[in-house]
Structure 1
């Protein structure tokens, strides 16, 4: 992408945050991560049947409880037509407007670990009631991070909840996207690298719509100056939505010059 065609770089502080929380997401690919992003591991979680893996960590310096999700090697299966049907968002502890619909396969994945994660986070909130909650994930993990953030925000409405997704596909319809935007505003961070094909692999023609501000790292060298904050409604035609999906491609596996599966566990 020609950098001259894109303007509106982000601040150095925001760029550092996006990289920081990506390291939690990439560390979720590691089966055993004793110190995620150098912080305290609370407990890992897995659901082998649903190919879900991640962990809950705690950053006592930033006073945060972090829930991180790994992406999935079986994401192509989730994108099959039968699983791409939009269905009501029915999940433990969630109440949404009547028109909200989400991807069937993604919802089944979240529901398979939702109760376990709620239990783990609940214990941490009791021990650290002043801590904020952050969720993060790459690829399918980004969708699970979003579903997790919605669930946790509804359970703890007075608590700050932020969510970070990297290379995540569209997860629901426009009503869902608007619901997310209203709930989180600028606290939902959706990052796309270059021509990563996964964020657009599920087309809007099927009724899907992206949420929130997209942070598009569109050219090199990677920096805040080559990362753009796009329109807040979620579907900015001048950002990554202007590129036809190429499916799971090299851009999907590297964010900010970091391999998506690289662990930061010491």
Structure 2
């Protein structure tokens, strides 16, 4: 039997809350409850990618899985008949191979299926190699789905490395299906390309490109802007806990809002990177 001391050790949630008690400057608006629920919804797909097989992603139809043994990239394509969407979800880093891809930070020209990038757009060499390794599989699956469901929109989503790949996937899919609405959601993803690339993304998607950061998650700033990298917008920052629309703000569309997550020093891969909206990354939503 434990001795009574009159005090108790703080729980994990309490320690996290203390660590994420970040004061947000005035003038940064809270997200609407509907937008908050939307961000949580697509994170559940990104989280579900971390298991080998998700038979019913978020209760919807699994169309196919995709993977590449050389790059260790995996994910799935799902169909939501209620929202009329085809969803492409990509897993984040989960192996040494993924870490090696993360480290290939040379900026290279953006050449990939379906993408007609603006002059000067450069992206992370490892992230581009990762997307290109599965691009044919993903595009073929979505082409078939669009033939069967021409009125469905397309969504891409991913956490960490998966978020950067999901962004590149969205650009390929938008180029391949120019008349279809395409939206993309990333969670805790690093900077993916340079300023010209960021402008290309913002011009292509506007508010349909969602980039979510949790508290002091250091991965989004792990690749420094000093190397020529620049985030795309719009950033949604869950600055403190408990997770809710009132603790999540919508930053300006520049991608590098000084009032938001870049105001917090980078700590690399930390506790904040391993959970979003109070959901532990790799939690499956597959029934």
* TM-score above 0.5: yes
Runs of 4+ in structure 1 over 4 Å off: none
Secondary structure at 1:24 match in 2: helix
| Contact preservation (8 Å) 1:3, 1:226 | no
Query: Alpha-carbon deviation of 1:78?
Result: 2.7
Distance 1:36 1:112, change over 3 A: same
2:135 is matched with 114
Q: Deviations over 1:188-230 (max 9, x none)?
A: 0000000001000000000000001100000011100000000
Structure 1 CA distance, aligned partners of 2:222 and 2:139? 30
| Contact preservation (8 Å) 2:213, 2:261 | yes
Query: Alpha-carbon deviation of 1:158?
Result: 1.1
2:100 is matched with 77
Structure 2 CA distance, aligned partners of 1:214 and 1:2? 16
Structure 2 CA distance, aligned partners of 1:87 and 1:3? 37
Structure 2 CA distance, aligned partners of 1:176 and 1:4? 28
Query: Alpha-carbon deviation of 1:46?
Result: 1.0
1:260 is matched with 281
Secondary structure at 1:133 match in 2: strand
Match of 2:46 among 25, 36, 40: 25
Query: Alpha-carbon deviation of 1:4?
Result: 5.6
Q: TM-score, normalised by structure 1?
A: 0.97
| Contact preservation (8 Å) 2:57, 2:286 | yes
| Contact preservation (8 Å) 2:102, 2:161 | no
Structure 1 CA distance, aligned partners of 2:209 and 2:163? 11
Larger radius of gyration: 2
Within the alignment, does 1:13 sit opposite 2:34 as a pair?
A: yes
Match of 2:87 among 52, 58, 66: 66
Within the alignment, does 1:233 sit opposite 2:240 as a pair?
A: no
Structure 1 unmatched runs, 5+: none
Structure 2 CA distance, aligned partners of 1:110 and 1:192? 22
Q: TM-score, normalised by structure 2?
A: 0.90
Match of 1:249 among 270, 279, 282: 270
1:191 is matched with 212
Alignment of 1:160-179 (within 5 A): 160-179=181-200
Structure 1 CA distance, aligned partners of 2:257 and 2:217? 15
Match of 1:52 among 62, 73, 81: 73
1:159 is matched with 180
Secondary structure at 1:180 match in 2: helix
1:134 is matched with 155
Structure 2 CA distance, aligned partners of 1:259 and 1:47? 25
Within the alignment, does 1:2 sit opposite 2:22 as a pair?
A: yes
Structure 2 CA distance, aligned partners of 1:144 and 1:76? 14
Query: Alpha-carbon deviation of 1:173?
Result: 0.1
Residues matched between the structures, number: 264
Structure 2 unmatched runs, 5+: 1-20
Structure 2 CA distance, aligned partners of 1:50 and 1:30? 17
Query: Alpha-carbon deviation of 1:97?
Result: 1.1
Structure 1 CA distance, aligned partners of 2:24 and 2:173? 40
